[in-house]
Chain A
Amino acid sequence: MANITFRCTMQEGQVDEETRAVLADGLRRIAAELLGASADDVPVSFSDIPAGFGFRGGAPSTTSLVRGAIVGGVDQELREQVMRAIIDMWTEISGCTVDELIVSAADA
């Protein structure tokens, strides 16, 4: 069983509270299904980048970041499975495009 924590960072005003709860449930489900984590024990935090404080390519950003840290680490095949599952879930629920999302799954 792998332990994973998620830190999600979004541009202010892009994702409402109700949607965040659904996204957190989605992250916990992915952690349980692919990493064997207990869904009730997957910390998920959200923070906002205030409007006018986030830039991409020198222009205001619409990009969200989902950063996972996997205690003990995983092999690259499983890592990519996790990241792709997160992308699919996040874009479907939030309505953002795949180009507006960065996902990492780091060994910790």
Chain B
Amino acid sequence: MPFYRCAVPKESVPYDQRAAVAKAFTDVHCGSTGAPRSFVHVVFDESDDRWDTPYFVDGANRAGRPEALKAQLLSDLIDAFRDVTGVSADQVSGRITEGPASWTMEGGMVLPEPGEETAEWYEHDERIGQGQAAAGG
């Protein structure tokens, strides 16, 4: 977590834009929450799921952040998506759902509650980032 699923029409967002959106989402999320970068997951989905708009940002985050921060985060994510893809405002919407941090383990550790991340957690993030780079990711 966080996990951002971008529902998009088939073949509407080329690879370079998908990569740019993923980087932008990581920047937005980490800038807003202070979360480690390697914990930000972004997936693009071209399936036929129906949403309110043709493009939809479906986020799943740890519970416990203030409502104002969550609203700003979603707004910034949608802005970032539009900046990269050029999609108009009426064509993209989104939501952020939340679940308890303690229900998930990532990198072999139970996720900490927002605001309770330890130094060990950030060291862990660095290790994952190095592993990603070594794997070509």
Contacts and interface: CB of A to CB of B under 8 A. Distances in A.
Contacts of A84: 105
Contact of A106 (B99, B131, B133): B99
Most buried by B among A62, A79, A99, A107: A99
A72 interface: no
- Chain B interface size range: 35 or more
Interface in B1-60: 1, 3, 15, 18-19, 22-23, 25-27, 37-46
Contact of B137 (A49, A59, A83, A102): A59
A62 B135 contact: yes
A104 B38 CA distance: 17
Contact of B103 (A58, A62, A107): A107
Contacts of A62: 132, 135-137
B103 A99 contact: no
Contacts of B99: 104, 106
Interface in A88-108: 97-107
B49 to A, nearest CB: 13
Interface in A29-56: 49, 52-56
Interface residues of A, number: 31
Contacts of A79: 102-103
Contacts of B18: 52-53, 55
Nearest to B8: A53
A52 B40 CA distance: 16
Contact of A60 (B26, B37, B45, B137): B137
A105 B108 contact: no
A58 B44 CA distance: 13
A100 B42 CA distance: 15
A61 B37 CA distance: 13
B132 A56 contact: yes
A76 to B, nearest CB: 6
Contact of B44 (A53, A65, A102, A105): A53
Contact of B40 (A57, A99, A104): A57
Interface of A: 49, 52-63, 65, 76, 79-80, 83-84, 87, 97-107
Interface of B: 1, 3, 15, 18-19, 22-23, 25-27, 37-46, 99, 102-108, 110, 127-129, 131-133, 135-137
